[in-house]
């Protein structure tokens, strides 16, 4: 009898790909599932298509499907996982359940911080409806160049401050995405990721839109994220949003490791009294959130009016020499390198 897609996926979850120590569903190796009355067909995506060990995995999966569903034809097609992101070692999502907490600020300064540590870094603006990367980098008018490979057109990311980046804001008029419906936005995101010649990168930082909607799910389910960073502010009322974001990444079927929390606008230090810290929105809140969710608190970023100004004038802060904020971002970048 023809199994449902869910039943099929449940069986495939038992198939472990030993070189990576996880099952083939979590590893996003299964693609293009077709179910017919007497046939199960799908593609199994391998990093190296000519690896001798691939056949062993195909045989194991075939046997497990036969054991589960009886006499049914199984057609597993080995295919190459290669795409524009194949040479990207780690994709890191910067997210939060809430708007305006500083995701874009953290994403931009983390990307630059990683680049300043000598890493090859990309930055993708996944905020299709409200992109901020072009403003923060002061390159709103720049358009990516085109490039052709194997008869297919790609975009080349735009480079500034040592970071390769791309945003929907670099492609279309600001107002345009606002009228797009969900699938168009998800499609645009996939194109930014897959139709762009990212080349070799140590880290790709993704600036997520606020909340836990379609775009977040599209990214988490279709691309292999190495980890996520959740940004919060120190108000206790923010906890529900932080928990929602954490639950989204921990949800079965999403399963993205959370590297930790970043508490933005954690305190205020007047520039003429650098030893003072004023905890305007609450003290220890980030630490409490982190403990409650059993996550590390990766960084506490102070409030600094220059951050806002830097964002608005396209000269990211971390690029601007020493300050407590730049130091906090440097520490964050080093921690991420240590973790991944």
Binding site for Mg ion (CB under 5 A): 103-104, 132
Could you say which of 25, 124, 206, 265 contacts ligand ATP (CB under 6 A)?
265
Do you know the residue count of the chain? Answer: 340
Instruction: Single out the segment in contact with ligand ATP by CB under 6 A; choices: 65-73, 125-133, 182-190, 278-286.
Output: 125-133
Number of residues that bind ligand ATP (CB under 6 A): 19
Using alpha carbons, select from 117, 143, 13 the residue that is nearest to residue 65. 13
Contact call for residue 270 and ligand ATP (CB under 6 A):
no
Cα three-residue angle 267-268-273, rounded to 5 degrees = 130
Contact call for residue 264 and ligand ATP (CB under 6 A):
yes
Nearer to ligand ATP, 103 or 164 (CB): 103
Instruction: Single out the segment in contact with ligand ATP by CB under 6 A; choices: 62-70, 100-108, 184-192, 288-296.
Output: 100-108
**Ranges within 209-238 binding ligand ATP (CB under 6 A):** 210
Torsion, Cα 318 321 327 329, to 10 degrees, reads: 10
Please name the residue that has the structure tokens 């194949």. 86
Contact call for residue 132 and ligand ATP (CB under 6 A):
yes
Using alpha carbons, select from 302, 166, 179, 167 the residue that is nearest to residue 234. 302
Contact call for residue 100 and ligand ATP (CB under 6 A):
yes
Give min distance, CB of 129 to ligand ATP, in A.
9
Nearer to Mg ion, 103 or 120 (CB): 103
Write out the residues near ligand ATP by the rule CB under 6 A. Answer: 99-105, 127, 130, 132, 210, 264-265, 301, 303-304, 307-308, 311
């Amino acid at each position: 009898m023809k199994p449902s897609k869910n039943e099929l996926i449940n069986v495939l979850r038992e198939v472990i790909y030993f070189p990576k120590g996880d099952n083939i569903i979590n590893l996003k190796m299964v693609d293009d599932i077709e179910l017919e009355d007497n046939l199960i067909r799908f593609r199994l995506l391998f990093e190296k298509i000519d690896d001798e060990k691939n056949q062993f995995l195909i045989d194991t999966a075939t046997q497990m499907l036969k054991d589960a569903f009886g006499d049914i034809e199984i057609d597993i097609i080995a295919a190459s996982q290669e795409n524009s992101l194949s040479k990207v070692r780690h994709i890191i999502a910067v997210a939060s359940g809430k708007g305006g907490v500083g995701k874009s600020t953290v994403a931009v300064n983390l990307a630059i911080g990683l680049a300043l540590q000598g890493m090859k870094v990309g930055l993708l603006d996944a905020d299709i409806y409200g992109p901020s990367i072009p403003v923060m980098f002061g390159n709103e008018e720049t358009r990516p160049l085109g490039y052709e490979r194997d008869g297919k057109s790609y975009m080349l990311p735009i480079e500034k401050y040592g970071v390769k980046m791309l945003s929907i804001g670099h492609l279309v008029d600001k107002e345009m995405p606002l009228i797009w419906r969900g699938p168009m936005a998800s499609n645009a995101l996939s194109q930014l990721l897959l139709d762009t010649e990212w080349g070799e990168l140590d880290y790709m930082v993704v600036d997520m839109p606020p909340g836990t909607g379609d775009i977040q799910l599209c990214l988490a389910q279709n691309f292999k994220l190495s980890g996520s960073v959740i940004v919060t502010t120190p108000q206790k009322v923010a906890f529900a949003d932080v928990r929602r974001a954490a639950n989204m990444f921990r949800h079965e079927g999403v399963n993205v490791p959370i590297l930790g929390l970043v508490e933005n606008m954690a305190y205020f230090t007047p520039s003429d009294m650098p030893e003072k810290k004023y905890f305007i929105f609450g003290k220890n809140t980030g630490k409490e959130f982190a403990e409650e969710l059993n996550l590390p608190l990766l960084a506490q970023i102070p409030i600094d009016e220059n951050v806002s100004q830097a964002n608005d004038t396209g000269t990211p802060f971390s690029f601007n020499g020493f300050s407590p904020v730049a130091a906090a971002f440097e520490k964050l970048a080093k921690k991420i390198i240590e973790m991944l």
